[in-house]
Amino acid sequence: MENTTVFTSPANMDGWMYLATYGKQSLAGDSLGLSILFRKNNLVQLTEDANSHVVVLKPSDNSLTYYFLAAWEKELDGIRSGKQFIQYLNETVRKLDNSIVVNIE
């Protein structure tokens, strides 16, 4: 979309990655951040055509986990810039890479 920027994870990320867009993406002209988060080891390729940005993923052990994420400038404490959105994405990926595991015996 016009007035929308595409972001991808830094190349040095090892666990989780993202493909994201930020800009005027709502029907009302509000700024939205949209992203898909996925594991690097499932990535086949990032590609695009005239209308879409695409993440091609391959399952591991017949399983695939990914997340969709959205941020709206008008939500409470909303993200209002591409820079803030990238910071949010990087923090979210860091949390996914360092998730808490609890084992009860």
pLDDT in the model for residue 10? 84
Between residues 71 and 11, the one the model is more confident about: 71
Confidence of residue 17 (pLDDT cuts 50, 70, 90): very high
Task: Using pLDDT thresholds of 50, 70 and 90, give the confidence band for residue 101.
Answer: confident
Mean pLDDT on 88-100: 92
Q: Is the overall model pTM greater than 0.85, yes or no?
A: yes
Strand partners for 29: none
Q: What angle do CA 68, 26, 6 make, to 5 degrees?
A: 55
Task: Pick the more confident residue, 20 or 10.
Answer: 20
Which pLDDT value is given to residue 53? 93
Q: Quick one: pLDDT band at residue 79, thresholds 50, 70, 90?
A: very high
Give me the pLDDT at residue 2, please. 77
Residues 87, 93, 96, 100, CA torsion sign: negative
